[in-house]
Amino acid sequence: MAKIQVGQLSKLGISHTRQMPFILPDDYQLISPCLTRINDVPVNEVTHIIAIMDGVMEWNTKKTKAIYRAEILADEPLKVVFDKAKHQFDMRAIKKIVGRCLIRGELKQFTRGYEFEVHSIQDGIRWGKDMVVPVYSPGSSELSSHYLAMRMSNDLLQQIPKATNHIKRLLEINSKDDEQQAISTINADEAWTINKIVKHAHYPIDIETGNEAKTLLKRLSVYSAVIEGRKSCPKPTSDSVFDANTDIDSLSTNIPFEITSEQRKAVETAIHEIRSERPMRHILSGDVGTGKTVVYSLIAASVAVNGGRIMILTPNFILCRQVEAEIRAWFPSFKVKLIAGDSKVDKDDHLNHDILIGTTALISRIGEVSPDLCIIDEQQKFATSQREFHGAHNVLEATATCIPRTQALAEFGIYTVSRLRECHVHKDLKTRIYKKSQRKRLLEIMHSVNERDGKILVIYPKAVENEESTSSGLMSVEKASLMWEKYFPGKVAWLHGRVGNEQKDSVISQMRTGEKGILVATSVVEVGVDIPNIRLIIIVDADRFGAKELHQMRGRLARNGGIGYCILLVNDKVHNKPKTLKRLQILETTCDGFEVAALNLKMQGFGDLKHRSDTQRGSIEGFIPGLHIQYEHVAELNL
Co-location of 435 and 581 in the same domain: yes
Mean of pLDDT values over 470-486: 82
What SS3 class is residue 338?
strand
Alpha-carbon distance values, 203 to 21, 53, 157 (Å): 11, 22, 9
Report residue 36 CA to chain centroid gap. 52
Question: Rounded CA gap, 577 and 405, in Å?
Answer: 25
Domain assignment of residue 589, given as a range: 427-594
Buried b (16+ CB within 10 A) or exposed e, 357-369: bbbbbbbeebeeb
Tell me if 474 sits within 8 A of 608, measured CB to CB: no
Q: Rounded to the nearest 5 degrees, what angle is found at the Cα of 544, between the Cα atoms of 587 and 385?
A: 90
Co-location of 227 and 243 in the same domain: no
Question: Rounded CA gap, 270 and 397, in Å?
Answer: 11
Question: Rounded CA gap, 536 and 121, in Å?
Answer: 70
Q: How many other C-beta atoms lie within 10 A of the C-beta of residue 141?
A: 16
Tell me if 533 sits within 8 A of 557, measured CB to CB: no
**What is the per-residue pLDDT for 22?**
95
**What is the per-residue pLDDT for 64?**
60
Between residues 82 and 189, the one the model is more confident about:
189
**What is the per-residue pLDDT for 317?**
84
Task: Answer whether residue 270 is part of any domain.
Answer: yes
Co-location of 394 and 350 in the same domain: yes
Model confidence at 446: pLDDT above 90: yes
Co-location of 490 and 350 in the same domain: no
Q: What is the CATH number of the domain that holds 133?
A: 2.40.50.140
Question: Rounded CA gap, 81 and 94, in Å?
Answer: 11
Alpha-carbon distance values, 573 to 71, 125, 296, 431 (Å): 66, 58, 43, 20
Co-location of 369 and 467 in the same domain: no
Q: Strands 99-110 and 113-123, how do they pair?
A: antiparallel
- Categorize the per-residue pLDDT at 68 as very low, low, confident or very high, splitting at 50, 70 and 90: low
Task: Answer whether residue 116 is part of any domain.
Answer: yes
Model confidence at 201: pLDDT above 70: yes
Q: Strands 46-59 and 518-521, how do they pair?
A: unpaired
**What is the per-residue pLDDT for 74?**
46
- Categorize the per-residue pLDDT at 457 as very low, low, confident or very high, splitting at 50, 70 and 90: very high
Mean of pLDDT values over 607-625: 75
Co-location of 475 and 497 in the same domain: yes
Task: Answer whether residue 607 is part of any domain.
Answer: no
Task: Answer whether residue 114 is part of any domain.
Answer: yes
What is the longest distance spanned by two Cα atoms in the chain?
A: 106
**What is the per-residue pLDDT for 57?**
52
Task: Answer whether residue 610 is part of any domain.
Answer: no
Encode pLDDT of 389-418 as tens digits: 667 889 999 999 998 888 988 988 889 999
**Which of 369, 397, 420 is a domain's end point?**
420
Question: Rounded CA gap, 246 and 554, in Å?
Answer: 35
Question: Rounded CA gap, 629 and 419, in Å?
Answer: 27
Q: Could you tell me which residues are beta bridge partners of residue 123?
A: 101
Mean of pLDDT values over 259-263: 95
Helix, strand, coil percentages for the chain (3-state, nearest 5) = 40, 25, 40
Co-location of 376 and 442 in the same domain: no
Task: Answer whether residue 614 is part of any domain.
Answer: no
Model confidence at 610: pLDDT above 80: no
**Which of 209, 231, 253 is a domain's end point?**
231
Encode pLDDT of 112-147 as tens digits: 778 888 887 776 555 445 678 888 888 877 787 778
Tell me if 116 sits within 8 A of 106, measured CB to CB: yes
Q: How many other C-beta atoms lie within 10 A of the C-beta of residue 446?
A: 21
Model confidence at 637: pLDDT above 70: yes
Model confidence at 435: pLDDT above 70: yes
Question: Rounded CA gap, 28 and 25, in Å?
Answer: 7
Co-location of 251 and 354 in the same domain: yes
Encode pLDDT of 314-349 as tens digits: 988 888 989 999 999 999 999 999 988 777 777 666
**Which of 367, 401, 420 is a domain's end point?**
420
Between residues 23 and 473, the one the model is more confident about:
23
Co-location of 148 and 85 in the same domain: yes
Q: Is the pTM value of this prediction over 0.85?
A: no
Helices and strands in the chain: count of H runs, count of E runs: 22, 22
Model confidence at 537: pLDDT above 90: yes
Model confidence at 350: pLDDT above 70: no
**What is the per-residue pLDDT for 178?**
95
Task: Answer whether residue 149 is part of any domain.
Answer: yes
Average model confidence (pLDDT) across the chain: 84
What DSSP assignment string belongs to 268-325?
Answer: HHHHHHHTSSS--EEEEEE-TTS-HHHHHHHHHHHHHTTT--EEEE-SSHHHHHHHHH
Task: Answer whether residue 283 is part of any domain.
Answer: yes
Q: Strands 113-123 and 416-420, how do they pair?
A: unpaired
Between residues 37 and 423, the one the model is more confident about:
423
Half-sphere exposure of 562 (CA within 13 A, CB side): 12
Tell me if 177 sits within 8 A of 168, measured CB to CB: no
Encode pLDDT of 77-92 as tens digits: 677 887 766 766 666 6
Co-location of 275 and 343 in the same domain: yes
Question: Rounded CA gap, 397 and 379, in Å?
Answer: 6
What DSSP assignment string belongs to 514-543?
Answer: TS--EEEE-GGGGSS---TTEEEEEEETGG
Encode pLDDT of 146-185 as tens digits: 788 778 877 888 899 999 999 999 999 999 999 999 999 9
Mean of pLDDT values over 538-551: 92
Encode pLDDT of 216-249 as tens digits: 999 999 999 889 888 877 776 666 678 888 899 9
Q: What is the CATH number of the domain that holds 370?
A: 3.40.50.300
Alpha-carbon distance values, 447 to 225, 424, 437, 485 (Å): 52, 29, 18, 13
Question: Rounded CA gap, 319 and 335, in Å?
Answer: 19
**Domain count of the fold of the chain:** 4
Co-location of 452 and 304 in the same domain: no
Co-location of 218 and 338 in the same domain: no
Extended strands (E) in 363-450:
373-377, 394-399, 416-420, 427-435
